[in-house]
Chains A and B, each alone.
Chain A
Amino acid sequence: MYVVIVGCGRVGSELAKLLSQEGHNVVVIDKEQGSFKRLGQTFNGITLAGNGFDVELLKEAGVEKADAFCAVTNGDNTNIMAAQVAKKLFKIPKVIARIYDPQRAHIYHKLGLDVISGTVLLAAMIRDKIIESHFTSYLIESGELGVIEIKVTEKFAGGTVSELNIPGEFLIATVLKKKGVVIPGPDTKLEKNDILMGVVKTISLKKVRGFFGL
């Protein structure tokens, strides 16, 4: 893939290195020439100093043939503007904007921009870690579903996956066994200390917790 990244801070440089190591063609744009130091010596993509929504510079970056565009500077509005220029003026198929401010993230998400808000994600993650042990709801955007981790106790050892699924409410998706990860069939046998990862309806969480005695 041909990916244009605007912003070479911690996130931008990390993303650029990751994609470049996977063999993608990466162009990184940042206002400060000095920021490109973060990419390290082995980075073999292209770097361009300048403004991430400057149409001429974007053309120079080859944005017209880009498959994806990520705006990850530390300025929300810069990201919003750059992402919209990429999406509406250059029609890049995949455009992602990082927005810190949850309110603006929500508004631009509703306006059809593909938005990632580290603030919202992190807050939800930390909240889950504090309040709901072994349960996360931030992975699934609507908030209707979450993922729960359950350790198989004596009581359930020897049973099968299908005995524990609750149709319409809870579904075991993977089982972490000592020998590795298993995608279970209905008859997969459970042993003590296996860890189940299941998808659960948020409204059924209490019931599932009760069922497993958590």
Chain B
Amino acid sequence: MHIIIVGGGNVGYYLAKRLAQGKHVVSVIEKNKELCERIAKELNVLAINGDGCDPNLLEDAGIDKTDVVAAVTGDDEDNLVICQLAKETYSVKRTVARVNDSRNEHAFNELGVDVPIDSTAIIAKIIEEEVSFKDFVNLMTFKRGKLAIVRVDLTEESPICGKQVMDIKLPGDSVLVSIIRGEEVIIPKGTTLLQARDDIVALTTIENEQHLLDALIGRLE
């Protein structure tokens, strides 16, 4: 795949490094000359020094044959404009933007960024999951907040303990992804028996999240 990354700070650097290892053709556009030189020297990617909001530079970076544009600068307004230019002017199929200020995620969704990534919210979620004693955690949401991956910890009282997966009645549009039992990860099959203290990871639409919880732990959180 051809990928353009705008922003060569920490996020852009490591993203470029990983993607370049994966046999992708990567171009990085970075305003800061020193950062840009470091990328050119250390990574096997095309590094362009300049403003990634400038259509000329995007063209230099090969935007006409690019599959994905990732805007990961520290400025949300720049990230938005880069994604819009890519999408509207160059018909790039997929645009990914880093959201620096969580308050802007909604606007990014509304204004046509395919995948806004809110690192603050993601880190907060991970930390919440690590410190939480709740038996339910929303691990992440995607597709404009329509889908969620949740983790549910089964207790003795859970109505599904001792049942096989095939006997559980799940709400529509939700599926069990995996069961974590101690250190073991189990991919659920119809005959998998559920036990207390299992952690269940499930994918669900937001509308059905509550129904899913009702089905798995039998009460409202």
Contact = CB atoms under 8 A, between A and B. Distances in A.
Interface of A: 51, 53-56, 75-78, 80-81, 84-85, 88-89, 101, 103-104, 107, 111
B88 A107 contact: yes
Given A80-B80, A104-B55, 15 more contacts: A53-B77, A55-B106, A55-B107, A56-B103, A76-B81, A77-B53, A80-B77, A80-B84, A81-B76, A81-B77, A84-B107, A88-B111, A101-B54, A104-B85, A107-B85
B221 interface: no
Contacts of B106: 55, 89
Nearest to A84: B111
B107 A53 contact: yes
Nearest to B80: A81
A103 B54 contact: yes
> In this complex, which of A54, A56, A77 has the most chain B Cβ atoms within 10 angstroms of its Cβ?
A77
Interface string B11-43: 000000000000000000000000000000000
- Classify the secondary structure of B's interface with A: helix
Interface of B: 53-56, 75-78, 80-81, 84-85, 88-89, 101, 103-104, 106-107, 110-111
Contacts of A80: 77, 80-81, 84
Contacts, number: 56
B77 A78 contact: yes
11 contacts: A53-B104, A55-B107, A76-B53, A77-B53, A77-B80, A78-B77, A80-B81, A80-B84, A84-B107, A104-B81, A107-B88
A76 B88 CA distance: 17
A75 to B, nearest CB: 7
A107 B89 contact: yes
A80 B78 CA distance: 9
- Classify the secondary structure of A's interface with B: helix
Contacts of A107: 55, 85, 88-89
B55 A77 contact: no
A77 B78 contact: yes
Nearest to B78: A77
A33 B77 CA distance: 21
Given A78-B77, A81-B80, A88-B111, A104 B103 contact: no
Contact of A77 (B75, B88, B89, B103): B75
A111 B56 CA distance: 18
Nearest to B88: A111
Q: Which 9 A-B pairs have the closest CB atoms?
A: A77-B77, A81-B77, A77-B81, A78-B77, A81-B80, A77-B78, A85-B107, A84-B111, A103-B55
B204 to A, nearest CB: 27
A104 B107 contact: no
A9 B214 CA distance: 55
A155 B55 CA distance: 53
A107 B54 CA distance: 11
> In this complex, which of B81, B103, B104 has the most chain A Cβ atoms within 10 angstroms of its Cβ?
B81
> In this complex, which of B56, B88, B111 has the most chain A Cβ atoms within 10 angstroms of its Cβ?
B111
A30 B36 CA distance: 32
Contacts of A103: 54-56
B200 to A, nearest CB: 35
Contacts of A88: 110-111
A84 B88 CA distance: 14
A4 to B, nearest CB: 16
Contacts of A85: 107, 111
